[in-house]
Structure 1
Amino acid sequence: MIEIASVGLSAAINPLGAELTHLRDAEGRELMTDADPAYWTGHAPILFPIVGELNGGRYRLDGRDYALPQHGFARRRMFELVEQSERAVTLRLTDDAESRAVFPRAFALDVRHSLNAATLTTTVTVENRDERDLPASIGFHPAFAWPLPYGRARADHRILFERIEPEQLARIVPGGLIGPADRDSPLDGRTLALRDELFTNDALVWQRVESRSVAYGAEDGPRLRIDFPDTPMLGIWTKPGAAFVCVEPWHGIADPEGFTGEIWDKPGIHRLAPGERWSVEMAVTLEG
């Protein structure tokens, strides 16, 4: 683990996936998942070059089909250390023979975690090092402790959206794809009252979200504000009974059911010209 710290927070990052694994307050209380293997052992994987499931586990590029697992391969690859200081670390993944077999493009993927007082900022930057356009989605998948370690009951926790969200939610069908019908929104105004039954049929998924931040926690206790200025989609997920809830800002989403087009037509794919760089940011702030 790579450790960084500020006056308000400390964090531990695993070079495997450049994954934030621990986030603790000034008193050392853990704000992340307990990673109970009975539910899910992830912490905060970086999703690249896709977000979500592919139809049949495959995508099409340059007239050929390739296989990729859910959320891509970056979370299962070892990153190299590029730069480290007391409060920040940058790690990098570059293409190799293994990646080119499933994603035939040259790239560099940088993940920077930095602390400033009570805020952790994660910036993911992809650079197209290929001579051809590069397709990419980027997503975040942080799993926060539910309940947070401040003595409030699990049932008292909620997620408060920055804005009213008029859109219905996507309906996830078996296999993790996006179904043709929508799902009614469980929001009461801007508030999502967290309860296990919301997640019986997988994640809550907004294909277009108006908010660029949400606040998570009990109404009368310390809470986490999650800012996501660059991502137009949002997932919220847990497994019923688990001690975590994921707040997932995405620039990308699972395939629609029956999708067979080129990856360029996949929702949320960003096209990078040769030499172009693209960055996506998320910040987590402990408030109260």
Structure 2
Amino acid sequence: MTDTHEIASGRLRATIRAQGGELIALSDANGPLLWHGGPEWPRHAPVLFPIVGRLTEDTLIHEGRSYHLTQHGFARDSLFQWIERTPDRAVLKLRESAETLARYPFRFVLQMIYEFAGDTLSVTTRVINPAETTLICGVGAHPAFLWPLAEGVAKEAHGLSFLQVEPGPGLGVEGGLLGPAIPLPFDGTELPLAEALFANDAIVIPDVANHSVRFAALDGSGRERRALTVSWEGYKDLGIWSKPTGAPFLCIEPWFSMASPIGWQGEFAEKPGILALAPSESRDFVWRATPHFIPTAPSG
């Protein structure tokens, strides 16, 4: 069985890979939208599970026992099983194994559902608790979009637009852990983009007020050359990240849960912001990407 599957709908095409259950390509009529992977960062849109970010000393403590679990968890490096593959939909599944139980002592079923609705790609992460005990976890999306989004537009001529003001504060990141509260670098509902924003790692917005953001490349007159909207449901936190070293991508990351606060180390079930699912409970977390088809300006 092949490792990848392509789905399409109208002007959109996407490719999903069984390794990591990951979206590895997304394009519209104007070309690629998703980062293709490269030496700057080899991933595309990794699935974050069963943690988001880092744990203190990469250690999960459950019922007094310690387990070694590294940043963002193991789903992004695991081989998923194909459940469904059609021209416009793909479903994959990952569940616990002896290997995962050695690092993360919980049973789980994780489904990734990729499907199109018109000119929107919908990505659902479904977390199912098959056990008779509570499932404790974090879950997150990590899609990396091309930045610059349009050819010939400088990175600094891009911005993120939110529907409402984020009251903040944000949280700093130090060594992959959450630092003290910091002001968000917004101008009202706008976040002008520049590589320097990410000098200290991601912009982290806990309990994000918005449920969507528009990412746009602007020409010299401020007119959009190319744009897409990323929206989400079920997630409660947001990370925005790139590398401050010329990396040509921007990650817009809806999360449920975040890294451990600096100095915090305790029972995993007591980790701030963590998700707890009762026996037989399931929860869906959805993010969507909608490109905007902008008419070409008349010449002359």
1:236 aligns with: 240
Deviation at 1:152, TM superposition (A): 2.9
Contact 1:31 1:149 in 2 (8 A): no
Q: With the length of structure 2 as denominator, give the TM-score of the two structures.
A: 0.92
Contact residue 109 and residue 128 of structure 2 kept, 8 A? yes
Map 1:58-69 to 2 at 5 A. 58-69=59-70
Structure 1 residue identity aligned to 2:107:
A
The correspondence of residues 47-62 of structure 1 with structure 2, limited to 5 A, is 47-62=48-63
Distance 1:228 1:263 in 2: 26
Which runs of structure 2 are paired with 1:208-223 in the superposition (5 Å)?
Answer: 208-219=207-218, 220-223=224-227
How many residues were matched structurally? 284
How far apart in 1 are the matches of 2:290 and 2:159?
A: 16
User: Aligned residue for 1:227?
Assistant: 231
- Partners of 2:123 and 2:258 in 1: how far apart? 20
Structure 2 Cα separation of the partners of residues 178 and 132 of structure 1: 29
5+ unaligned residues in a row in structure 2: which ranges? 219-223, 294-300
Structure 2 CA distance, aligned partners of 1:278 and 1:230? 8
Secondary structure at the counterpart of residue 101 of structure 1: helix
Q: Match of 1:18?
A: 21
Letter aligned with residue 99 of structure 1: T
> Match for residue 267 of structure 1?
272
Following the alignment from structure 1 to structure 2, what is the Cα–Cα distance between the partners of residues 111 and 69?
Answer: 21
Distance (Å, rounded) in 2 between the aligned partners of 1:150 and 1:227: 24
List alignment gaps of at least 5 residues for structure 1.
none
Could you tell which deviates more after superposition, 75-84 or 18-27? 18-27
- Residue 251 of structure 1 corresponds to 256
Partners in 2 of 1:65 and 1:19 — Cα distance?
29
Matched, 1:143 2:105: no
* Distance in 2 of aligned mates of 1:230 and 1:104: 24
> Partner residue of 2:7?
4
Task: Give the CA RMSD over aligned residues.
Answer: 1.2
Rg: which structure is higher? 2
CA displacement at 1:169 relative to structure 2 = 1.1
Please state if 1:277 is matched with 2:278.
Answer: no
Give the TM-score of the pair, scaled to structure 1: 0.96
CA distance in 2, matches of 1:106, 1:45: 21
Aligned counterparts, 1:90-239, within 5 A: 90-149=91-150, 151-173=152-174, 175-179=175-179, 181-219=180-218, 220-239=224-243
CA distance in 1, matches of 2:130, 2:247: 41
